[in-house]
Amino acid sequence: MHIICCLKQVPDTAQVKIDPETNTLVRAGIESILNPFDLVAIEQAVRIKENHGGTITVITMGPPQASSILRQAISLGVDDVVLLSDRAFAGADTLATSYTLAMAIIKLGNNIPVDLVLCGKQAIDGDTAQTGPGIATRLKYTQLTYVSSIQWIDPENRKIQVERKVDGGVETVLGDLPALLTVELELAKPRRASLPSLIASLKAPVPIWDAKAIEAVETLVGIKGSPTWVRKISSPAPRQGGPKFRAGTDPDKAVAQCLEVLFSDSTFFSNFKLTGGRNSDVEKF
Amino acid sequence: MSKNSKGIEVAEIISDKCIACQICIGECPVGAIELSDEGVAHVDPEVCVGCGKCFEVCPVEAVLFEKKKRKKISKSQRGAHALKGVSYEGVAVFIEVANGSAAPVSFELIGKAKELALKRKCRVIGFVLGNNVEKIADDAVFYGCDDVHMVSHPEMGTYLSRPYGKILANLCKEVCPEIFLIGATHLGRDLAGVVATRLGAGLTADCTGLDIEEETGLLLMTRPTFGGNIMATIFCEHRRPQMSTVRPRVMKLPAKDLFRKGNIFRHEFTPIEDPLAQVVGFISDVKTSGEKDITEYPALVTAGKGACDISAFPMLQELAELLGGTLACTRPVVESGLMPYERQVGQTGKTVAPKLYVAVGVSGAIQHFVAIQGAEKIVAINSDENAPIFQVADVGIVGDYQKIIPALIKQLKEKM
């Protein structure tokens, strides 16, 4: 099996904020991390390798600093890494990104044919979930998004069966290899790297491929290959905190005050009905 | 404005404004700009030739540069090959069919499409794919489509990425809409990436606002980014259709007019030659747990780390039922195994927008807040009066939820 994982380095988005006074991004001290969904993809790849043997290659597109997530992947047990880094790649939207990653996967497949590509279901900075389907479409691989469980893989007969989340349930899909999977958080719980492998990962070489190395067409990568463009950014309308009441020894009073505030907004409560607890859909714990 | 040792007036990045989109890095002809370790662009003054390209392309005015009169050159290069003289017209909506009926989000999008079409003075187009979907095509007209293009065939009865993507992309090539909206359901998100890639179109995910820019007639797509902390407005100048996905319940459902007339065009189904994946099984959420998705309820009572106690759940459940809602939870509660992942609200769980959100023992970390900011009213109950949740709650009670919830239930019953 040749498994490829596509990773993305993302800012720890929980820390990104807008300064309310200057209306600018506050970035001081914000860490870059491996997208949490991609960590699951690595874990799943390592488990498949443990069962079926093979090679895992992980790739990411980004500036030279992104090599840190590749080293993290090495510490978790992947075999090879490639950093796709070129000024020409900068400013890419999902269309250009999927092209660049697809070209890299084609090149990797020239050495050892690719059986499986694993991606996180989305990245936590953009939340678009568009790059995976873009890669699968370009490579004509079986596209399996939102995978929550891999039931079996049969490398000899080139088949895979997975469970994937769909609206209103979970569906089981049987498809051909090569396939591209985008993975849900519950697919596999990531392991921790051992100390020796962590140390080894620090010394591991990180090969860098530029646009020429993957034979990418100049007009299809980076800013030139990206149809979408940011016009402006703004802060979401801030929510104002309302009054708070101390329950102390008299919770009834605090609750009464709280409900008074809620019910004082007549437009809200005219649209909101208390059901009186007749709700047949609710599961009992 | 600073000069370098060669006397060139160089560009500078205002790091607080930089959003690290890296567009300037790609544009700089001499490679003077790099992303710093802090994750913002940085200009090396000794390499900079003072051309000002970074200033022109920066979407957020984060570049300090003197020559403000240069004409914008790079925008015309963006998106490579442009419109090629084809005329694109109309606002199209993908009408998603799930279990034999249309997904409500599709009709919500028709409402938005009508608004946009009014501004563009064009038609609203519906694309319906599936098996026996004639009635749904009629409904699309009743909700506001002027033209509906339909492919109805037994082989389209089950959604698969490849045939749906191919057929929909072909329909787009034939009908040439200038805007194409798709619901951001699991299916819609799976499909949109395929169609956009096939068409080489620009696609913006999960938009919460859509509007037409008056001067240019372009679609302005506003979406939360960086986990909802920032709103970004995106546009797509040189490729068509301008594609966008929109989450359910973001746009308003338009009124249904049973007397509305429209054209329905039936298109031939052309089978896909490649081998296809097969759906071999389906387990409905309703069957496994007898529940609707938590995002569908008008009220949610959410147990956080501070209420991570199974003996408290019956009381929280009673409160939820009283409000016409259901129970939800935060990540620590899922990790403790007390509630399934399906009920997790948060950045790695679900984004919800109920009318009433009651957070019990939820501290309100930003990862949680970004997923509930669409809620109409937030009530917080927490024993820590400094919990961040109080900064965003419309009303809060500080104290022991074990005492507060029973009082709340009692008083709510009295109000009914």
| B196-221 residue pLDDT tens | 999 999 999 989 889 999 989 999 99
Q: How many residues does chain B have?
A: 416
Residues of chain B found within 8 Å of residue A18, distances taken between Cβ atoms: 229-230
| Mutation site for B-interface testing, chosen from A17, A65, A128, A220 by largest number of B Cβ within 10 Å | A128
Lowest mean pLDDT among A97-111, A207-221, A236-250, B132-146: A236-250
**Average confidence (pLDDT) over A251-270:** 83
Structure tokens at A86: 């070129």
Contact A166 B186 (CB under 8 A): yes
In A7-114, which ranges are continuous DSSP H helix? 36-52, 67-75, 94-111
Phi, psi angle pair for A127, to nearest 5°: 55, 30
Contact A236 B237 (CB under 8 A): no
**Average confidence (pLDDT) over A200-210:** 94
Identify whether the C-beta of residue B323 lies closer than 8 Å to the C-beta of residue B301. Answer: yes
pLDDT at A17 over 80: no
Classify burial at B281, counting beta carbons within 10 Å of its beta carbon; exposed 0-12, middle 13-18, buried 19 or more. Answer: middle
pLDDT at B159 over 80: yes
What residues make up the domain containing B248? 91-266
Note the ipTM here.
0.84
Residues of chain B found within 8 Å of residue A277, distances taken between Cβ atoms: 318, 321-322
Residues of chain A found within 8 Å of residue B17, distances taken between Cβ atoms: 24-25
In this structure, the answer to whether residues B180 and B257 fall within a common structural domain is yes
DSSP assignment of A119-185, as one string?
Answer: EES--TTT----HHHHHHHHHTPEEEEEEEEEEEEETTTTEEEEEEEETTEEEEEEEESSEEEEE-G
Classify burial at B341, counting beta carbons within 10 Å of its beta carbon; exposed 0-12, middle 13-18, buried 19 or more. Answer: middle
In B278-354, which ranges are continuous DSSP H helix? 285-289, 313-322, 331-335
In this structure, the answer to whether residues B207 and B327 fall within a common structural domain is no
pLDDT at A234 over 60: yes
State the residue for tokens 């039931």. A151
In this structure, the answer to whether residues B186 and B329 fall within a common structural domain is no
Residues of chain B found within 8 Å of residue A275, distances taken between Cβ atoms: 321-324
pLDDT band with cut points at 50, 70 and 90 for residue B231: confident
DSSP assignment of B369-394, as one string?
Answer: HTTTTT-SEEEEEES-TT-THHHH-S
**Average confidence (pLDDT) over A53-65:** 94
Cα separation of B180 and A77, whole Å? 43
| Conformation bin of residue A276: beta by default, left when phi > 0, alpha when psi is -120 to 50 | left
Sequence-distant (≥ 6) Cβ neighbours of residue B383 within 8 angstroms: B306, B361, B398, B399, B400, B401
The domains of chain A, with CATH numbers, are 2-225 (3.40.50.620), 240-276 (no CATH)
pLDDT of residue A25: 57
Structure tokens at A128: 């678009």
Structure tokens at B335: 């990790």
Residue B207 covered by a domain:
yes
pLDDT at A278 over 60: no
**Average confidence (pLDDT) over B123-150:** 96
Going by C-alpha positions, the residue among A212, A220, A228 that lies closest to residue A96 is A220
In this structure, the answer to whether residues B238 and B100 fall within a common structural domain is yes
Contact B235 A277 (CB under 8 A): no
In this complex, which of A130, A251, A278 lies closest to B404 when CB atoms are compared? A251
In this structure, the answer to whether residues B65 and B95 fall within a common structural domain is no
pLDDT of residue A169: 86
Lowest mean pLDDT among A213-222, A257-266, B335-344: A257-266
Classify burial at A122, counting beta carbons within 10 Å of its beta carbon; exposed 0-12, middle 13-18, buried 19 or more. Answer: buried
Residue B262 covered by a domain:
yes
Residue B243 belongs to a domain with what CATH number? 3.40.50.620
pLDDT of residue B187: 95
Pairing relation of β-strands B101-102 and B97-98? Answer: antiparallel
Cα separation of B108 and B102, whole Å? 11
pLDDT of residue B56: 82
- A41 CA to chain B: closest CA distance, Å? 15
pLDDT at A231 over 70: yes
Residue B346 belongs to a domain with what CATH number? 3.40.50.1220
Residue B325 covered by a domain:
yes
In this structure, the answer to whether residues B295 and B409 fall within a common structural domain is yes
Secondary structure (3-state) at A60:
strand
pLDDT at A167 over 60: yes
Contact A279 B324 (CB under 8 A): yes
pLDDT of residue A158: 95
Lowest mean pLDDT among A27-36, A125-134, B270-279: A27-36
DSSP assignment of A195-263, as one string?
Answer: HHHHHHHHHS---EE-TTTTT--GGGSGGGG--EEEEEEEPPPPPPP--EEE-TT-HHHHHHHHHHHHH
State the residue for tokens 């007898």. B290
Residue B278 covered by a domain:
no
**Domain edge (last residue) among B266, B301, B316:** B266
pLDDT at A22 over 50: yes
pLDDT at B363 over 80: yes
pLDDT of residue A14: 62
Cα separation of B288 and B290, whole Å? 6
In this structure, the answer to whether residues B169 and B27 fall within a common structural domain is no
In this structure, the answer to whether residues B139 and B204 fall within a common structural domain is yes
State the residue for tokens 């949490």. A36
Identify whether the C-beta of residue B110 lies closer than 8 Å to the C-beta of residue B140. Answer: yes
DSSP state of B155: G
Helix axes B401-415, B313-322, angle to 10 degrees: 30
Interface contacts A/B by beta carbons within 8 Å: 396
CA A187-A193-A197 angle, to 5 degrees, is: 135
- Position B119: which residue type? K
Residues of chain B found within 8 Å of residue A125, distances taken between Cβ atoms: 225-227
pLDDT at B113 over 90: yes
**Average confidence (pLDDT) over B65-74:** 52
Going by C-alpha positions, the residue among B409, B414, B324 that lies closest to residue B360 is B409
pLDDT band with cut points at 50, 70 and 90 for residue A275: low
Work out the mean pLDDT of chain B and round it to a whole number: 87
Tell me how far the alpha carbon of residue A113 is from its chain's centroid. Answer: 25
Residue B248 covered by a domain:
yes
Residue B83 covered by a domain:
no
In this structure, the answer to whether residues B238 and B340 fall within a common structural domain is no
pTM tops 0.90, yes or no:
no
pLDDT of residue A29: 64
pLDDT tens digits, one per residue of B326-341 = 999 998 999 888 998 8
In this structure, the answer to whether residues B60 and B137 fall within a common structural domain is no
pLDDT band with cut points at 50, 70 and 90 for residue B315: very high
In this structure, the answer to whether residues B60 and B129 fall within a common structural domain is no
pLDDT of residue A108: 97
Work out the mean pLDDT of chain A and round it to a whole number: 88
pLDDT of residue A284: 42
Phi, psi angle pair for A170, to nearest 5°: -125, 130
In this structure, the answer to whether residues B147 and B48 fall within a common structural domain is no
Residue B6 covered by a domain:
no
**Distances in whole angstroms, Cα of residue B265 to Cα of each of A224, B137, B146, B148, B403:** 37, 9, 11, 6, 62
Residues pairing with B243 in the sheet: B180, B203
In this complex, which of B291, B356, B393 lies closest to A242 when CB atoms are compared? B393
Residue B282 covered by a domain:
no
Residues of chain A found within 8 Å of residue B234, distances taken between Cβ atoms: 228-231
Using only C-alpha atoms, what is the Rg of chain B? 25
pLDDT band with cut points at 50, 70 and 90 for residue B253: confident
Domain count, chain B: 3
In this complex, which of B19, B275, B415 lies closest to A233 when CB atoms are compared? B19
